[in-house]
């Protein structure tokens, strides 16, 4: 009876142990990409495509774009510079660090009428 109870407890605890270690190894291989500032891509709608717009950022902070607009978009700096690459619906870009102060215009490379501005302060 005692032996049977021990076996039962081991059977119960094994999935727990696996779950804990599974989580840890996931986190170490895929560190959460949390940016200081997250801008939502909300629609294909000119200057109302990105929210907030303009967005305020301090030099050294990171920015991610989170796409809830239904189709693939990008945030691409005008004239070169930062570029998120394609962000599918529901996706979030990798954080991009802003190292230059100024008003940085950007757009969607797929839909050039989608425009936004990052107001980067020193």
E strands, 1-122, are: 37-41, 50-51, 55-58, 62-67, 76-77, 96-97, 102-107, 115-121
Choose between 111 and 119: whose C-beta lies nearer to Cu ion.
Answer: 111
Taking alpha carbons only, the member of 90, 97, 95 closest to residue 38 is 95
Residues of the shown chain interacting with Cu ion in the complex, contacts defined by CB under 5 A: 73, 108, 110-111, 114
Q: How far apart are CA 105 and CA 75, in angstroms?
A: 10
Which two structure tokens, joined as six digits, stand for 84?
């998120």
Q: How far is the CB of 53 from Cu ion (least distance, A)?
A: 14
Q: How far is the CB of 37 from Cu ion (least distance, A)?
A: 20
Choose between 66 and 111: whose C-beta lies nearer to Cu ion.
Answer: 111
Choose between 35 and 73: whose C-beta lies nearer to Cu ion.
Answer: 73
Q: How far is the CB of 95 from Cu ion (least distance, A)?
A: 20
């Amino acid at each position: 009876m005692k032996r049977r109870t021990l076996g039962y407890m081991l059977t119960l605890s094994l999935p727990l142990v696996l779950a804990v270690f599974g989580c840890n190894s996931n986190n170490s291989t895929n560190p959460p990409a949390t940016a200081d500032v997250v801008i939502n891509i909300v629609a294909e709608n000119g200057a109302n495509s990105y929210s907030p717009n303009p967005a305020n950022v301090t030099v050294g902070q990171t920015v991610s774009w989170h796409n809830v607009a239904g189709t693939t978009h990008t945030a691409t700096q005008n004239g070169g510079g930062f570029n998120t690459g394609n962000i599918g619906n529901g996706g979030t870009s990798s954080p991009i660090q802003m190292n230059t102060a100024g008003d940085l215009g950007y757009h969607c490379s797929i839909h050039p009428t989608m425009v936004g501005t990052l107001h980067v302060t020193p």
